[in-house]
Each structure stands twice: as structure tokens, then as C-alpha cells.
């Protein structure tokens, strides 16, 4: 086992434990904080894949901006533990079955994908995640999807401003 | 087994560097508190702290001992874990910035070439942004966990202020990055050392915007609304006592030092001493001169921060938001446009 492998397993365990804690925390603020830790673990994985830009943007956008807004809203709503509506057992059970089936389906699909069969993830290799090659790829090969998505973001922004003005 | 096949020399070298930088920043922060009180005193025409030691130089130590000795109080209604986590996060986030700041050119010691920078990553500036956006969690968590409505209001103010000014800061920075074509702080500083001019010449408007945003990100006057004592009693750290309060106050000073270091590196040549050719002296001496130069620039910036604090009154909250969204962001976009046009025209 190399250092990279050890880091991989550590980060994976970290991500899974944090993600589980997001689900089982009673306090929504704690859930948000655990979710931030999940994003950090995933950024660690990106770094192992030599995708530094993706890693840092993941932290800036998700952990830094979106989760701040989540925290903001939850703090202002001031959710109390006993004010939370308790769901019925049947509803809970249905949720578990539905979620479990989706998970099984996803695992089955990923397992049978021929493209990734007998292939290992390349850790610590490749340059596409570094900022220079990524910028080159985005502005040459993928320039049209890139511009379309930026127009999409712009329209979302305009929409947000209009809703905010009402 | 190749588990521990590190270059141990590198590990030791970096550990020493981290220790020096972290404790150095803490030491400077300690004396920045003293400097703040002295500058305030000079601007208000009074002597300032002058009892502890010669010229009052031992005052920060006395303050530190006082903070540590005070009783630690955790309010009954507070969320205990988050209450403790808050100041720790604030402190960690403000110290983490120092990892990418180049403190000087390379030195040679025991036959090794040692870079005076903890990590030269090719996304240096984005890393700084990530850490800055983490900094607000310390304030938010602390304010919420205190279970006090004034603390909560203050932490919400701090968060919305930080988010608003991060945008202007980022846009001001993109214009600079367009001219430097690199995100690594080391490369940006080296370009200024080798080139004729510092980046401030190319980006005067960008620097002004960045500086104002940095004032807001550090919660310094005129943007210290999270600590507006006439409206909020004290601010997000109202329920804190002893060293946890000390951590919050200290984190603010460390933020100030780090943002000064970043501004000096990006716009004012970093460790570059003007009108001086570094290649005429031995590399180690040149590096030491560089470190001294950067420290002087940092001190000048900190003085500017303090000068502003004791001169300008605080904004109102709507003025703060108007300035951020309706003045700074359009100006930053304008700056971006001009920079892009000039680069296209090959000027």
C-alpha cells in the first residue's frame, strides 16, 4: 500500500462517516456542518486524482458559498427538535425501501458498465484537472456547451434578482 | 513496503517553516494589538498604554495573561460543542492562509535549496479564496451556538457581508490574473521582481476594490457592522469569555496580517525591494532582505488599516450593501472590461 492508497481509504472512510452523520444528526445545523466535511473529503479525492482546480472550486462554491446560505436559512428558521413533524412508520418504511432500491439499481448499473470494467482509477496522474489544460479544453473543445451553461447561469441570476425585487 | 518513503529532509524543512510562519504570525498579531492601541492613542492625542515595561511594550503579554486567567464561561443554553468549535475554526481559517504566501526568495542551507513558502501550489490564489470563505463559519457557528439573539444577528450580518464582498474581491482579482496569467503567488511575485513595474501600476482600480473588500472581509471599520456595539451590544462573541474571546479577537488581527501579506504580494511586488538588484548579493542575504521588505510592507498596510479605523465612522447596513453590490461589483466588472480590452489591443 502506497501513501496514496492509505490517503484514499482514509478519505473514503471520512466521507462515508460524515455522510452518515448528515443523515442521522437530529440537529439540522449539525447536518449542515457534517455535509461541509463531506465536501472536504470529496475535495481530497479530487486532489488525489490530480484535479486541483476542481478540488478548490468545490470548496469555494459548495463548502464556502452554498453551505453558508444553507446555514443562514436554517439559523433564521430556528428549527426546534420537538417542533419537527414526526412521520408515520409506514412513510419511513416506504422511504427506506425506495432509497434502498435506488442504491441497488445504481450499484448494478455501475458494476455492469463495460467502459470501466477491469479498469483502475488513475491516482496522482493526468493533467486534465490542472487549471491550464482544463481552461484549454473548456475554451476550445467544449466551448459551445460551456457558453450555453454560462447563459443558463446568467438567466438564473436574472431570475433570482427579479424574484428578490418582488 | 513503500509506505514511508518520503523525502524526510523535505518534511522536516516544511515543519520548521510552518512552525516559524505560524508562531511568527501569532507574535506579530500580539504586537499588532499593541500597535492598534498606540496608533489610536496617537490619532486621538493621548499617550496610550505606557505602564507595562518600557514604552508599554509588555502590554500585549499582560493582556494575554489576563485573557488566559479569566474564568471560562459556557452559557447554559449554548450548544456546547459548537460553542467551543467556533473560535477554533476562526483561528484555524485565518492561520491557514499563510501556507501559500511566498515570504522570500529561495535560500541555501546545508546544501539544500529551501523555498521560503510552505506550498507553491498552482492554484495559490484560489486556495486563499477557499480559506477566506471558510473563515465565516467560525463567526456563524459561534454566533449561533451562543443562543443569544444579538450574537445571531451579528453572525448573520458577518456572513452576508462576507459573501457580498467576496464577489467584488474575486472580480477585482480576475483582472489581475488576466495580466499575470498565473494563479501561483510565487510566480506573480517573481514576475514583479523581474519586470519593471509592480502590478499596482497596471491595476490601480483593481487594487482599490481589493483593498476595500479586504477591509470588509476582515470586519474592520468602516465595515465592522458585526461588532457594532451601539446596536448589537458587542457582536457575535458577546457570550464568550477568557481565551475563546481572545481567539476571536486574535483571528481578526491575523486576518489583517494575512490580507496585508496577500495585497503586498499581488500588487506591491511581495518581497521585491525597489531599486535594488538582488543578484548583486549572496542568495541567502538577498532572501533575508526580501523577507524584511515584505514584513515592512505588511506593517505599512496594517498601519493603513488602523489609520482608517480611527478616522472613518462606521457605515449603516444599507450603505454597506449598496456599496458592495451597486458600486463595487459594477466597478470591478468595468475594470475587467478595460483590462480585457487592453490585453486584446496588446498594450
Domain hosting A114: range is 86-118
ipTM of the complex: 0.82
Contacts 24+ apart (CB under 8 A), B83-86: B83/B142, B83/B145, B83/B146, B83/B239, B84/B244, B85/B141, B85/B145, B86/B138, B86/B139, B86/B141, B86/B142, B86/B143, B86/B145, B86/B244, B86/B248
The pLDDT of residue A19: 93
Report yes or no: A4 at the B interface, CB cutoff 8 Å. no
Q: Are residues A107 and A141 in the same domain?
A: no
> What confidence score (pLDDT) does residue A119 get?
64
What are all long-range contacts of B326-333, with beta carbons under 8 Å and residues at least 24 apart?
B328/B165, B328/B168, B328/B209, B328/B212, B328/B213, B329/B167, B329/B168, B329/B171, B331/B205, B331/B209, B332/B168, B332/B171, B332/B172, B332/B175, B332/B206, B332/B209, B333/B171
Give the per-residue pLDDT at A1: 66
User: Are B134 and A64 in contact (CB < 8 Å)?
Assistant: yes
Q: Are A60 and B156 a contacting pair at CB < 8 A? A: no
- Note whether A80 and A98 are same-domain residues: no
> A70 and A53, same structural domain?
yes
The set of residues, in sequence order, having a beta carbon less than 8 Å from that of A149 and lying 6+ positions away, is none
Do A28 and A65 sit in the same domain of this protein? yes
B312 versus A124: the higher-pLDDT residue is B312
Q: Name which residue leads in pLDDT, B1 or B230.
A: B230
pLDDT of B3 strictly over 60: no
Same domain, A36 and A77: yes
User: What residue spans define the domains of chain B?
Assistant: 70-101+120-344
- What is the three-class DSSP state of B81? helix
DSSP H or E stretch at residue B189: helix B185-194
According to DSSP, residue B72 is labeled P
- Both A97 and A76 in one domain: the answer is no
Residues B78 and B147: beta-carbon distance below 8 Å:
yes
pLDDT of residue B1: 42
Rounded to a whole number of angstroms, the distance from the CA of A101 to the nearest CA of chain B is 36
CB contact under 8 A, A36 and B159: no
Listed residues A84, A109, A144: the one ending a domain: A84
pTM of the model: 0.86
Number of domains chain A is built from: 3
- What mean pLDDT, rounded, does chain B reach? 85
Does the pLDDT value for residue B52 go beyond 50? yes
pLDDT of res. A81: 61
A57 and A77 together in one domain: yes
CB B236 within 8 A of CB B146: yes
Closest CA to B136 of B164, B176, B98: B164
User: What tens digit of pLDDT does each residue of B165-189 get?
Assistant: 888 888 998 998 888 888 888 888 8
Q: What is the 3-state secondary structure (H, E, C) of chain A?
A: CCHHHHHHHHHHHHHHHHHHHHHHCCCHHHHHHHHHHHHHHHHHHHHHCCCHHHHHHHHHHHHHHHHHHHHHHHHHHCCCCCCCCCCCHHHHHHHHHHHHHHHHHHHHHHHHCHHHCCCCCCCCCCCCCCHHHHHHHHHHCCHHHHHHHHHHHHHHHHHHHHHHHC
Query: A21-25, A123-127, A148-152: lowest mean pLDDT where?
Result: A123-127
pLDDT tens-place string over residues B107-139: 777 777 777 888 888 888 888 888 888 888 888
Nearest-CA distance B82 → chain A (Å):
9
Does residue A80 have a pLDDT over 70? no
Residues of chain A with Cβ-Cβ distance to B329 below 8 Å are none
Nearest to A71 among B121, B122, B140 (CB): B140
Across the A:B interface, residue pairs with CB atoms under 8 Å apart total 70
DSSP B227: G
Pair (A8, A74) in one structural domain: yes
Sign of CA dihedral B15, B16, B21, B22: positive
In this predicted structure, what is the pLDDT of residue B314?
85
Question: Residues A11, A74: one domain?
Answer: yes
Q: A68 and A26, same structural domain? A: yes
For chain B, percent of residues with pLDDT exceeding 70: 98
- Predicted confidence (pLDDT) at residue A116 exceeds the cutoff of 70: no
Cell of B280: 548583486
User: How far is the alpha carbon of B156 from chain A, nearest alpha carbon, in Å?
Assistant: 7
B134 touches chain A (CB under 8 A): yes
Both A75 and A111 in a single domain?
no
Write the DSSP symbol of residue B98: G
Name the percent of chain A lying above pLDDT 70.
Answer: 87
Domain shared by A9 and A59, yes or no: yes
Amino acid at each position: 500500500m502506497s501513501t496514496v492508497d492509505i490517503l484514499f481509504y482514509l478519505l473514503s472512510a471520512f466521507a462515508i462517516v460524515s455522510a452518515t452523520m448528515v443523515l442521522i444528526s437530529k440537529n439540522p445545523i449539525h447536518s449542515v456542518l457534517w455535509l461541509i466535511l463531506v465536501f472536504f473529503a470529496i475535495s481530497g479525492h479530487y486532489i488525489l486524482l490530480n484535479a486541483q482546480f476542481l478540488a478548490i472550486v468545490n470548496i469555494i462554491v459548495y463548502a464556502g458559498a452554498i453551505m453558508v446560505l444553507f446555514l443562514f436559512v436554517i439559523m433564521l428558521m430556528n428549527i426546534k427538535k420537538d417542533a419537527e413533524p414526526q412521520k408515520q412508520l409506514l412513510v419511513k418504511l416506504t422511504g427506506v425501501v425506495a432509497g434502498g432500491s435506488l442504491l441497488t439499481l445504481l450499484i448494478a448499473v455501475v458494476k455492469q458498465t463495460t467502459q470501466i470494467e477491469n479498469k483502475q482509477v488513475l491516482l496522482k496522474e493526468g493533467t486534465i484537472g490542472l487549471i491550464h489544460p482544463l481552461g484549454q479544453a473548456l475554451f476550445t473543445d467544449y466551448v459551445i456547451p460551456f457558453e450555453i451553461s454560462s447563459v443558463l447561469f446568467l438567466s438564473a441570476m436574472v431570475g433570482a434578482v427579479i424574484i428578490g425585487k418582488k | 513496503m513503500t509506505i514511508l518513503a518520503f523525502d524526510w529532509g523535505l518534511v522536516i524543512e516544511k515543519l520548521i517553516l510552518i512552525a516559524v510562519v505560524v508562531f511568527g504570525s501569532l507574535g506579530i498579531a500580539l504586537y499588532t494589538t499593541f500597535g492598534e492601541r498606540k496608533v489610536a492613542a496617537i490619532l486621538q492625542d493621548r499617550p496610550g498604554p505606557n505602564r507595562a515595561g518600557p514604552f508599554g511594550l509588555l502590554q500585549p503579554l499582560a493582556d494575554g495573561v489576563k485573557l488566559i486567567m479569566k474564568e471560562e464561561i459556557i452559557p447554559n443554553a449554548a450548544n456546547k460543542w459548537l460553542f467551543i468549535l467556533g473560535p477554533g475554526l476562526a483561528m484555524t481559517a485565518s492561520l491557514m492562509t499563510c501556507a501559500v504566501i511566498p515570504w522570500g526568495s529561495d535560500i541555501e542551507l546545508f546544501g539544500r535549496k529551501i523555498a521560503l513558502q510552505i506550498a507553491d501550489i498552482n492554484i495559490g490564489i484560489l486556495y486563499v479564496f477557499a480559506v477566506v470563505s471558510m473563515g465565516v463559519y467560525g463567526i456563524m457557528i459561534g454566533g449561533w451556538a451562543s443562543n443569544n439573539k444579538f450574537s445571531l444577528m451579528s453572525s448573520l450580518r458577518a456572513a452576508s457581508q462576507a459573501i457580498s464582498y467576496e464577489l467584488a474581491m474575486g472580480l477585482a482579482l480576475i483582472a489581475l490574473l488576466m495580466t499575470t496569467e498565473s494563479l501561483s503567488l510565487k510566480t506573480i511575485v517573481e514576475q514583479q521582481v523581474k519586470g519593471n513595474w509592480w502590478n499596482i501600476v497596471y491595476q490601480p482600480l483593481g487594487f482599490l476594490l481589493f483593498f476595500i473588500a479586504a477591509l470588509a472581509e476582515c470586519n474592520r471599520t468602516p465595515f465592522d457592522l458585526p461588532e457594532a456595539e451601539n446596536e448589537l451590544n458587542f457582536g457575535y462573541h458577546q457570550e464568550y469569555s477568557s481565551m475563546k474571546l481572545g481567539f476571536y479577537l486574535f483571528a481578526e488581527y491575523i486576518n489583517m496580517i494575512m490580507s496585508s501579506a496577500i495585497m503586498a504580494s499581488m500588487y506591491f511586488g511581495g518581497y521585491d525591494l525597489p531599486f535594488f538588484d538582488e543578484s548583486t548579493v549572496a542568495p541567502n542575504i538577498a532572501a533575508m532582505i526580501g523577507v524584511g521588505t515584505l514584513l515592512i510592507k505588511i506593517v505599512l498596510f496594517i498601519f493603513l488599516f488602523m489609520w482608517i479605523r480611527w478616522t472613518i465612522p462606521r457605515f449603516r447596513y444599507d450603505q454597506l450593501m449598496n456599496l458592495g453590490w451597486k458600486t463595487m461589483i459594477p466597478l470591478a466588472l468595468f475594470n475587467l472590461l478595460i483590462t480585457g480590452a487592453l490585453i486584446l489591443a496588446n498594450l
